[in-house]
Structure 1
Amino acid sequence: MALQDLPVMLSGYRLMVTEAPAAKMREAEDGTVTPVVDRMSGEVQYVVTLFAKPMPVEGRKAGKGEEIRVNLPGDPGEGFEEGMYVELVNAVVNTYEIPDRVDPRKIASAGLWFKAAGLKPVARPVRNAA
């Protein structure tokens, strides 16, 4: 069973653009590449790659962070460049499972993917001068 559109709180993370938003592309069996289009709106979907790094918490070692890809329902607009800090608007996470071909009761692969209604620029974090 796959869980869909679970709200996700990323307020404890700094999100930095590592790959600017671009149209999400799909490769067909014949090798042609076409943009992914939303079935409801007909709009081309976008994807952005972000580096999610935990914000420092006093008394705890800071985590290293991880790169995540986030699906967007359309073009988020101009100005979302590499190195920019952003916030996700209405971020959700979805899960998926791929059953084993030999024994469908077993799961061969599972994972999750993020999506958001949009991106919002945020001020670059200020480092503490010590």
Structure 2
Amino acid sequence: MQQIPVNLNGYKLIVVEAPAMKTRQVDGRDELVTDRRTGATLFEVSLFARQRPEPGQKAAKGEEIKVTLATDPGEGFEEDTRVELVGATVSPYSFKNDKGETVSGIAFRALGLKPLDY
């Protein structure tokens, strides 16, 4: 199953690296990554995700996640900005790398970012 909707409302999301156009290395050079269906340029943002604690509980450890964005989020998403993901999904992946090892995980994706004022 691809693009499984995910609810991150119980998490505090903070920008660690500002959004930028997504690139990949091809034959030693950077190449822009585009959406396979639409051809639109994709963007990527690094966020620190930490679950909000329940009253009386200690906050759990957080984790840095990279999120692919389907659109240019625009200005105003500098480091330490609190945000919300619009239309967040996860997709599982698994592939064999150049060493023959199986690499598996989940990839985060969203339609865009929304700044939070608190």
TM-score (norm 1): 0.82
The structure where strand makes up a greater share of residues is 2
Distance 2:7 2:17 in 1: 22
Amino acid at match of 1:59: G
Structure 1 61/36 Cα, relative in aligned 2: closer, same or farther at 3 Å?
same
Give the corresponding residue for 1:13. Answer: 11
Please tell me the root mean square deviation across aligned C-alpha atoms, in Å.
Answer: 1.9
How many corresponding residue pairs? 117
Deviating beyond 6 angstroms after TM superposition, the runs of 4 or more aligned structure 1 residues are none
- Spell out, residue by residue over 1:73-112, the C-alpha distance to the aligned partner (whole angstroms, 9 max, x if none): 12111111111000000100000122599xxxxx822100
Distance 1:122 1:99 in 2: 39
TM-score (norm 2): 0.90
- Spell out, residue by residue over 1:12-42, the C-alpha distance to the aligned partner (whole angstroms, 9 max, x if none): 10000000000100111x2121111123322
- Are positions 1:119 and 2:117 aligned together? no
Structure 1 86/100 Cα, relative in aligned 2: closer, same or farther at 3 Å?
closer
- Are positions 1:96 and 2:93 aligned together? yes
Show structure 1 runs of 5+ residues with no match.
Answer: 102-106, 125-130
Give the corresponding residue for 1:83. Answer: 80
State percent identity of aligned pairs.
Answer: 49
Bigger radius of gyration, 1 or 2? 1
Give the corresponding residue for 2:66. Answer: 69
Show structure 2 runs of 5+ residues with no match.
Answer: none
Distance 1:114 1:75 in 2: 16
Distance 1:110 1:32 in 2: 25
